[in-house]
Amino acid sequence: MNERKPVTLTRLREMHARGEKIAMLTAYDASFGRLCDEAGVDTILVGDSLGNVIQGQPGTMPVSLEDMAYHVAAVARGNRNCWLIGDLPFGSYQESHEQAVRSSVKLVQAGAQMVKLEGGGWTADTVRFIVERGIPVCAHIGFTPQTVHALGGYRVQGREGEAAETMLRHATELADAGAAMLVMEMVPSTVAERVTKALPIPTIGIGAGPGTSGQVLVLHDMLNVTRGRLPKFVRNFMEGAPSIAAALRSYVEEVKAGRFPDPALHGY
Ligand code: KIV
């Protein structure tokens, strides 16, 4: 029986205030929505990584808003207690503030409690516009897969001094604009830690070291069912686990205990 209380934005803020690590995982269907919930995951991200791991696309760019709404609705039917975040896909928020709100409304009506969008700089105004209309927003900086071509490939962002300062500025602008959470992907651990200390909101890292307020992994990566080589920052939680449910529980335990990511194993 699932006796957990629903995770709300207030509870996430309380966890952040008392220094409890936040365990986020991606999920894309009702079965994994339920399994994540039963494993004690705090927040599920219905990521546009579904382009890669569900649709077999080369990246996230082909994912449509309709695809996202379909998967958000599926996860929402399986999940009862995890805070549910839906990714705004490429092309669904770049045109205008109105387009961004329309797209966010669609994901909220499908069951999302928060939307996530990628990028710093101009996105701060978009975040403010969505938040002012009553929809919580999670920002996403560092490596942003929707702009992989502009970034010149899959690589760590914010390494050099100036790039690190820009990242800190973008993070601050996004928090000032009302973002309630910030994902940092493939960012040097020192930079991620600096941003985390500077912001009043929880930060969630993926390939960003142990110094963030929480962690996220792509479900298929941590269950080791992704095709091809896994990034160095991923741990295969199926190794030694008797079941998928046990692997998910172990992920939550390891994140909460601050044992994942382990700088010695993941090269931070
Ligand atoms: O789409 C996704 O799964 C994501 C995570 C990698 C943070 O954005």
Residue 116 Cα: closest atom of ligand 1: 8
To test the pocket of ligand 1, the residue of 41, 68, 216, 233 to mutate (highest count of ligand atoms within 8 Å of its CB) is: 216
Confidence at residue 266, expressed as pLDDT on a 0 to 100 scale: 72
Which tokens hold the place of 216? 């996220």
Name the DSSP letter for residue 5. P
DSSP code for 199: -
Q: What is the pLDDT of residues 114-140, one digit of tens each?
A: 999 999 999 999 999 999 999 999 999
User: What is the 3-class SS of 89-151, one letter each residue?
Assistant: CCCCCCCCHHHHHHHHHHHHHHCCCEEEEECCCCHHHHHHHHHHCCCCEEEEEECCHHHHHHH
User: With the C-alpha atoms ordered 242, 244, 245, 247, is the resulting torsion angle positive or negative?
Assistant: positive
185 noted as active-site residue: yes
Which pLDDT does position 160 carry in this prediction?
A: 77
pLDDT tens across 151-203, in order? 988 888 888 789 999 999 999 999 999 999 999 999 999 999 999 999 999 99
At 25 the three-state DSSP class reads strand
What CATH number should be reported for the domain whose range is 9-266? 3.20.20.60
Ligand 1 atom nearest to 118, measured from its CA? 8
Mutate to test the pocket of ligand 1, among 87, 181, 203, 217 (most ligand atoms within 8 A of CB): 87
Cβ(222)–Cβ(234) below 8 Å: yes
Q: What is the pLDDT of residues 13-57, one digit of tens each?
A: 999 999 999 999 999 999 999 999 999 999 999 999 999 999 999
Domain spans in the chain, listed from the N-terminal domain onward: 9-266
